[in-house]
């Protein structure tokens, strides 16, 4: 147990998440240019098999797990919601056929919550019925990244399946008797202490399926709080932004210097950022976005100063949250070791 095939791989949240588990990727499937370059940079020995519709041509060993988040634009409330009629949404059915071809023991599928209501629920029913017809029992759950140690509200639907008729395998992997937050931080007191400098961010769907994350910074030393603003409210702020209330806090760094991270108590704007009272709007840096998703610093900075920020933002916005995938992986691993009784 421990080999996996990743489809619609993006920049590989799964490989970052499952490295501590000792699991190894046998192949990726990604067609976008920049994410493919990120994969080549970090995983030069893992083949990028390209278009997932060509899965029958792939010469790879049988994986233990298949993981993928097929395109969400056709199911997102921000899109036209054509569901399975959209070619991107139709890749959901390709995912079923791919599972039937390789027959992995487990699969993990991720998408936006909107898939549950797409076509009045009929699209998701078609998907789950198809999975059961090819021999998988499954469970699904909406998980929010903010409960897994990153300051971002990001609700996503996860379906976990096991190649058997026994529903208890996927159920046990995806549902714990203890709280989700207990996995990362069992003490409520520790969570409250951390909340002073790290609170939730809102994630909404932007144009072209890019998820724009707006961070709500923590409480300042003078007792005031920063608040969240949307980029569309300011014509000059077109990407990821954070609204920072400088107030009278003398510890604010001079404009032009970089704010330390998403856990910072204060931040900086920039000479060209919109000024509202004593506050400024600034874009989140790519490093901050990497941290919002649980990636290592500069994970997407593959060409130094020549790496385009726009490509990094888009790739990160389309990715899964790393700690959520790790938690699911550990649930699968626990079932593999102990069975579903424990």
Q: Which fold has domain 3-184+321-338?
A: Rossmann fold (3.40.50)
Helices (H) and strands (E) in the chain, counts: 10, 11
Render 196-252 in DSSP notation, one character per residue. Answer: TTEEEEEEEE-GGGPEEEEEEE-B-TTS-B-----GGGSTT--SSEEEEE-TT-TTP
User: Is 148 in contact with 158 (CB distance < 8 Å)?
Assistant: no
The greatest distance separating any two alpha carbons of the chain, rounded to the nearest whole angstrom, comes to: 64
The domain ranges of the chain are 3-184+321-338, 188-317
Among all residues, which ones are annotated catalytic? Answer: 72
Both tokens assigned to 269: 């704007």
With H, G, I as helix, E, B as strand and everything else as coil, classify residue 316.
helix
The Cα–Cα gap between 82 and 88 comes to 10
pTM: 0.72
Q: How many CB atoms lie within 10 A of CB 303?
A: 11
User: How would you write the pLDDT of the chain (342 residues) with one tens digit per residue?
Assistant: 899 999 999 999 999 999 999 999 999 999 999 999 999 999 999 999 999 999 999 999 999 999 999 875 544 444 444 544 555 457 888 999 999 999 999 999 999 888 888 888 888 888 999 999 999 999 999 999 989 988 788 999 999 999 999 999 999 999 974 544 444 444 344 444 333 222 223 332 222 222 223 332 222 222 322 223 232 232 322 233 343 444 433 333 333 333 333 333 334 444 454 444 444 556 788 998 998 999 999 999 999 999 999 999 999 999 999 999 999 999 999 999 998 876
């Amino acid at each position: 147990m421990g080999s996996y095939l990743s489809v619609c791989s993006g920049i590989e949240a799964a490989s970052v998440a499952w490295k501590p588990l000792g699991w190894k990727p046998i192949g990726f499937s990604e067609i976008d240019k920049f994410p493919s370059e990120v994969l080549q940079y970090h995983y030069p020995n893992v083949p990028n098999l390209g278009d997932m519709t060509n899965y029958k041509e792939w010469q790879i060993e049988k994986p233990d797990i298949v993981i993928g988040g097929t395109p969400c634009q056709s199911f997102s409330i921000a899109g036209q919601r054509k569901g399975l009629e959209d070619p991107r949404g139709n890749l959901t059915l390709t995912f079923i056929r791919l599972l039937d071809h390789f027959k992995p023991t487990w699969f993990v599928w991720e998408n936006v919550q909107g898939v549950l209501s797409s076509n009045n629920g009929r699209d998701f029913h078609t998907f789950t019925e198809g999975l059961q017809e090819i021999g998988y029992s499954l469970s699904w759950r909406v998980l929010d990244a903010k409960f897994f140690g990153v300051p971002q509200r990001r609700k996503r639907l996860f379906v976990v399946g096991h190649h058997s008729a026994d529903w208890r395998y996927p159920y046990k992997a995806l549902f714990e008797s203890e709280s989700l937050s207990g996995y990362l931080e069992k003490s409520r007191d520790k969570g409250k202490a951390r909340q002073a400098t790290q609170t939730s961010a809102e994630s909404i769907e932007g144009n072209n399926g890019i998820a724009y994350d707006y961070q709500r910074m923590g409480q300042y030393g003078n007792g005031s709080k920063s608040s969240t603003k949307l980029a569309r409210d300011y014509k000059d702020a077109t990407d990821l932004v954070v609204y920072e209330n400088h107030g009278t806090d003398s510890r604010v760094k001079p404009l032009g210097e970089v704010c330390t991270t998403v856990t910072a108590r204060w931040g900086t704007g920039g000479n060209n950022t919109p000024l509202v009272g004593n506050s400024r709007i600034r874009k989140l840096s790519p490093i901050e976005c990497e941290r919002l998703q649980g990636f290592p610093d500069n994970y997407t900075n593959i060409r130094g100063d020549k790496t385009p920020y726009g490509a990094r933002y888009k790739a990160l916005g389309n990715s899964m949250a790393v700690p959520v995938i790790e938690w699911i992986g550990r649930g699968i691993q626990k079932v593999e070791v102990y069975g579903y009784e424990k």
